[in-house]
Chain A
Amino acid sequence: MEHAIETRGLIKRFDGLVAVDDVNLSVRRGEIFGLLGPNGAGKSTIIKMLTTMLRPTEGEAYVWGHHIVRERDAVRSCIGVVFQDPSVDGKLTARENLDFHGRMYGMPGDERKRRIAEVLELVELYDKADVLLEEFSGGMRRRLEIARGLMHRPHVLFLDEPTLGLDTQTRRYIWDYIRKMNGEEDVTVVITTHYMEEADNLCNRVAIIDHGRIVALDTPISLKSMIGTDTLTLEVRDGLERLRDVLLGFEWVRSFDASNGYVRLSVDSAQSRIPEVVLAACRAGVRIKSVSVHEPTLEDVFLRYTGRSMRDETGKGDLVRALMRR
């Protein structure tokens, strides 16, 4: 089957700065595809090119079989987009915003009406249909934008950081809507994010992107399994030597590493090994103060491929952007 999206050597330069650097990827029809990367990685620039808002400097891309430069209008009519920054008319009500949208996409009156009710229902904003958008909270506005992106039944829906700056609860709701519409409406979803949990929870496949380049692309599970096993961390008071001898006696302990009173073990399915480890420590007379398990995350995958942590870089920018979005 033909791919929903296909890019070949996509490059975007902004006088000197290479924002997107030789991106090749294929998005399958029907999947939820994630672009995960820190601020400034080039995610929005990729989305803008694929949605015909920016021309690529080099390379080409097809969306639903249409060339993004030569067939802009064909591309436009088969996509829905939720941009990173707000794009609603605050002086119009939710219904009027959707009505405007439906007309722009050539939807006749009765279909528009039916569809507005449907998508508002989906994002649970039906009772807010006649409220001016300027009175919406950030989360409500985001939900409306998602409803709008879906309204004209696009084949591909682009969501650029749909949960940026939203609280955890709202974020989870939005994940639910995205899953629901991917299932019910059979729409291919491309979502960008710099939240690992989001990519991990939501996406069938994830491309990790840094400095405009795709550094890894696979299912979240495969990506994480490349990192290897879980880490079990023990905080111990004394008797490190004895503990080492005991633990290295287990064939499932792959490595043992101690520093500053902490012991790190590489272990498969670490959760289930906790009782054995604690028991063994007790028998050896070693006092354990705490135990924690770390399963590999996409964060670790990012670290492995770029040598940097994603959190370090996103923290501040996040706050600034969240403020700017007000």
Chain B
Amino acid sequence: MRAFDPYAIYSLWLREMIRFFRLKSRVVGSIAPPFFFLAFLGTGFSGMASRVPAGVDYINYLAPGIIGMTLLFSSTFAGMSVLWDREFGFLREIMVAPVTRLSIVLGRTAGGVTQAVLQGIIILIPGIAMGVKIKGLTGLILSVALMVLISATFIGVGLAFASRMKDMSGFSLIMNFMIFPVFLLSGALFPVQNLPEPVRILSYIDPLTYGVDALRGCLVGANSFPIIIDTLLLAGCCAATMAIGAYLFEMSDVD
């Protein structure tokens, strides 16, 4: 048996896709929060504009941040869907199959990334309607690649948490102590340069900071750091969280 089993990976990916398109209410539920952030902050609260880098519209600044938010939430949950599968018993069906753990992780990640990126792209549409000026086609394609990286990073995080937790009880804890700080510290809504020193340092160890910044660079040309640095840091984080997530998943018991 091969460590890398494309057929099994495809099977796992396909299952996620069927579920994604079948559970429309859940998709709407996960797109709604970022949509409202975009709608309210992008229109009524443009007073923030004074804080963003000179010459950038707040909506152009905000939209990539909201895409980052969408990816963060969707991916972390996708990583944690192992917990649902454990709860409903389907995890056993997956784990008893003659498929390596690596292929299982890759299949889940592929499914989670596709879902998250689709949602990220969907949220871009109202953004464009609200006046976001996309730099060009290359930027758009590069930003999809960045979305994949951001998404994989947080799927790794979700997978790591899910492998360490036996049930759903730790779930809200992680929501409140991981996802929200990562979101708020990433500069998705406001420039991190405006934050007080100690908080700003925290924002520099947040992988989403670089993801959002790179997205801004590619989509609207409003990055604070060089895109290449952003991308390298993000890729490093992605490799690290995926490795940790896959390792912990491999080590975890099914029961």
Contacts and interface: CB of A to CB of B under 8 A. Distances in A.
Contacts of B11: 100, 103-104
B128 to A, nearest CB: 32
B97 A91 contact: no
Interface stretch (A45-53, A180-188, A246-254): A45-53
Interface string A35-64: 000000000000010011110000000000
Interface string B86-100: 001111111111111
B19 A104 contact: no
Contacts of A74: 98
Contacts of A73: 1, 98, 100
Which among B91, B95, B97 has the greatest number of chain A C-beta atoms within 10 A? B97
A96 interface: yes
Interface residues of A, number: 28
Interface stretch (A82-90, A204-212, A279-287, A300-308): A82-90
A77 interface: yes
A81 interface: yes
Interface in A103-137: 103-106
Nearest to B94: A104
B197 interface: no
Given A92-B18, A103-B8, A76 B88 contact: no
B1 A77 contact: yes
B111 to A, nearest CB: 12
Contacts of A51: 96
Contact of B89 (A85, A92, A103): A85
Given A53-B95, A76-B97, A76-B98, A96 B18 contact: yes
A101 interface: yes
Interface string B133-163: 0000000000000000000000000000000
Interface string B3-30: 0010110110011001100110000000
Contacts of B1: 73, 77
Given A73-B1, A77-B98, A81-B96, A48 B255 contact: yes
A109 B127 CA distance: 42
Nearest to B90: A89
Nearest to A132: B22
B165 interface: no
Contacts of A105: 97-98
A147 B1 CA distance: 24
Nearest to B93: A87
Nearest to B107: A104
A90 B8 CA distance: 20
Contacts of B88: 86, 89-90
Which among B23, B90, B93 has the greatest number of chain A C-beta atoms within 10 A? B93
B19 A92 contact: yes
B90 A88 contact: yes
Contacts of B95: 53
A105 B94 CA distance: 10
A1 B35 CA distance: 66
Contact of A86 (B7, B19, B89, B94): B89
B164 to A, nearest CB: 18
A233 B150 CA distance: 77
Contacts of B8: 103-104, 106
B169 to A, nearest CB: 18
Contacts of B94: 104
Contacts of A48: 255
Interface in B211-232: none
A74 B98 CA distance: 7
Given A76-B97, A77-B1, A105-B97, A83 B92 contact: yes
B254 interface: yes
Contacts of A87: 89-93
Contacts of B90: 87-89
B23 A53 contact: no
A92 B92 contact: no
Contact of A53 (B99, B100, B254): B254
B83 to A, nearest CB: 15
Contacts of B15: 89, 92, 96, 100
A101 B92 CA distance: 12
A87 B93 CA distance: 6
Nearest to A79: B96
Interface in B149-198: none
Given A76-B98, A86-B88, 9 more contacts: A53-B95, A73-B98, A73-B100, A83-B92, A87-B90, A88-B90, A91-B18, A92-B15, A100-B15
14 contacts: A53-B95, A76-B98, A83-B92, A87-B89, A88-B89, A89-B19, A100-B11, A100-B14, A103-B8, A103-B10, A104-B11, A105-B97, A106-B5, A106-B8
Interface of A: 48, 51-54, 73-74, 76-77, 79, 81, 83, 85-92, 96, 100-101, 103-106, 148
Q: Which 4 A-B pairs have the closest CB atoms?
A: A103-B11, A77-B98, A76-B98, A104-B97
